[in-house]
Amino acid sequence: MELNGICVITLTPFNDKGNIDEGSLRRLTNFYIDSGVHGMVILGIMGESHKMTDSERSKVLEVTLEETKGRVPVVVGCTAQGTEVAKELSIQAEKSGAHSVMIAAPRNLNNEEMLFKHYAEIAEAISIPIVVQDEPVTTGVKMSPKFLATLADEIENVQYVKLEEAPTTVKTTKILEETSNLQIFGGLGGMYFYEELVRGAKGIMTGFAYPEVLVKTFELYTSGNKNEARKYFYEKLPLIRFEAQLGIGGVTIRKETFKLRNVIDSSHVRHPGAAVDSQTMDELQEIIEFVGLK
C-alpha cells in the first residue's frame, strides 16, 4: 500500500496515574480507522514517544499493529539523536510489520553531508519506506527543497516527506519543481490542508481530533468537488486554529477533545506538559458547537 490521504498522527492514551491505557489505545485505534483515515502515524511527538521508556514504545507498537489488523498502513516514528539508535528503532518497526518509518533530523544537525549520511545509513538497514519529517521548530534544522529532493533522488527508501516548515504551500511547490520522486504530506495541524492539496500534496499527517473532517475534505477534493471541499474545510477551520495554541499545546487540547468524544478515558499528558484551565475547556466546547460538530 502507498501512503495517501489522511495519515493521522496518533495520541498515546495514559490513565490518570500516567501509565499506558491499553483499553483506550485499542478504542482510539479503531476510532481512527472507523473515521475513514487512510493511514496512521504512531510514536511521534504528539504520541509523547519522547516521554516513554523503550519497553513502553514497544508496547504501543505491538498493541497498535495488533489492533489495526492490516486495515491501514502504519508509519512508526523512529527519530533519535544517534544514527545507530534510529537504525535499531527502524529495524524493530519493520520486523513488527510497519509500512514505513518517520524520521526527523537529529537536533541542530545543520550539516547536509552528515544529515545525508544519517538517512542513508538508516535506509541501508531496512527495506521499508522512510518518511522524512521536516520539523525545524523542534529540531532546529532547516532542510531546503533541493536537499530533500537529493535525499529522494539518491536514497531509494526515501519516498515521502512531512512538511512542518511554514509556509508548507510554497515549500510543496518548490520541492515538486526539484523532483518527482518525493511524495509530500502537509502538516502544521491541518491549518493549510486545502491549499496543500491544491499545490500537489498527496495528503496530510496531523493529529486533528476530528479526523473525519479532513477525510471528507480530501474525498470531496479528489472526487473533483474542489469548491465544496474548500467551503467545508473553511467552515471547520476555527477548530483547527484553536487546537494549535502554543503554550498549551495541541496534545493537551486534543486529548481533552477525545475524552469529550468518549474515545479515551483520561486526558492525562505526561510531564512536562501543560494542562488547560476551565475557561479553555469552555471555549473548546463552544467552538466545537459553533462549527457544527458534536
Continuous segment of H or E residues that includes residue 103: strand 100-104
Backbone angles phi, psi at 44, to 5 degrees: -95, -170
Q: What is the pLDDT of residues 214-243, one digit of tens each?
A: 999 999 999 999 999 999 999 999 999 999
Contacts with 257 (C-beta within 8 Å, 6 or more apart), sequence order: 209, 210, 243, 284, 288
Closest by alpha carbon to 264, among 29, 6, 2, 7? Answer: 29
Q: What's the whole-number mean pLDDT along residues 126-150?
A: 97
Q: Which of 144-153, 161-170, 240-249 has the lowest mean pLDDT?
A: 240-249
How much helix, strand and coil, in percent to the nearest 5, is found in the chain? 50, 15, 35
Question: Given this model, what pLDDT does residue 31 score?
Answer: 98
Q: What is the pLDDT of residues 182-213, one digit of tens each?
A: 999 999 999 999 999 999 999 999 999 999 99
pLDDT tier at 67 (50, 70, 90 boundaries)?
A: very high
Over 70: is that where the pLDDT of 132 sits?
A: yes
Closest by alpha carbon to 71, among 33, 99, 98? Answer: 33
Question: Given this model, what pLDDT does residue 246 score?
Answer: 60
Cα 209 to Cα 9: distance, rounded to the nearest angstrom:
10
Rounded to whole angstroms, the maximal C-alpha distance in the chain is 51
Residues 15, 265 contacting (CB under 8 angstroms): yes
Question: Given this model, what pLDDT does residue 273 score?
Answer: 83
Buried b (16+ CB within 10 A) or exposed e, 72-107: bbbbbbbbbeebeebbbbbbbbbeeebbbbbbbbbe
Question: Given this model, what pLDDT does residue 121 score?
Answer: 98
pTM to 2 decimal places: 0.96
Question: Given this model, what pLDDT does residue 70 score?
Answer: 96
- Give CATH for domain 5-223: 3.20.20.70
Q: What's the whole-number mean pLDDT along residues 61-90?
A: 98
Closest by alpha carbon to 265, among 4, 17, 5? Answer: 17
Q: For the chain, what percent of residues have pLDDT higher than 70?
A: 99
Query: What ranges do the domains of the chain cover?
Result: 5-223
Over 70: is that where the pLDDT of 248 sits?
A: no
